[in-house]
Amino acid sequence: MAETPPLLDAETFAARSNGRVAASDPRVAPLLAGASAAIRRYCGWHIAPELVETDVILDSDGGDLLVLPTFKLREVISLELKRKSYTPPESPWESFSEEDDYDWSANGEIYMRSRKLPNRFRSVRISMRHGYDLDAIADLQQVIQQVVTNALASPSGATSESAGAMSVTWSQTAPGVSGGMSLLERDLAVVNLYRLPGRA
């Protein structure tokens, strides 16, 4: 799978800064990549853009409902369950088809019609196409815009500087902290909309 692009690209970031930051600024791309990676790790999935993931291995609990690590499922390409027993060269995986065996929803759930899921770790293998379009996550991109803008404004983390009669104070990302990659409560309210259930 090709490297996943950041949730907000440098050109869009620069355009939204109203010319205050250039897309070619060497600090911008690493900060956008870092903010995107942190949010994806926190949420537990890549979020956007749409992409194909193959041979994703999941646990299952023996029921008939499988919850996938996505909120935007577009296609189930293949679904396989691990056999209880097999004899090589027989595959340890048994394939199932949407037509005969299961239904799926766009929010990332699969309901098994033909049989129960195994009650075992690492017993499901799935390939799927999923993820939001980048232009559908404007709220999340605005969070990244704010976080990266704050990091650029005060890379040293200073909250203010003075020289003679002149004084500059930067916006704070936490009490007494300016710059860095901190998320405010208002940011988490948006990010949590994309966070998978059960994330610690």
Tens-digit pLDDT profile for residues 72-115: 999 999 999 999 998 999 999 999 999 999 999 999 999 999 99
pTM for this prediction: 0.83
Residue with tokens 């890379």, as numbered in its chain: 155
Answer whether 81's CB lies under 8 Å from 94's CB.
Answer: yes
Other CB atoms within a 10 A radius of the CB of residue 6 amount to 25
Residue with tokens 């209880």, as numbered in its chain: 84
Q: What is the mean pLDDT of the chain?
A: 88
What does the pLDDT look like over 52-77, one tens digit per residue?
A: 999 999 999 999 999 999 999 999 99
DSSP assignment of 119-132, as one string? EEEEEEEEEEEE--
- Each residue of 21-31: b (16+ CB within 10 Å) or e? beeeeeebeeb
Region 173-180: what's the mean pLDDT? Answer: 49
Q: What is the pLDDT of residue 161?
A: 46
Answer whether 68's CB lies under 8 Å from 109's CB.
Answer: yes
Strands 177-178 and 166-169: unpaired
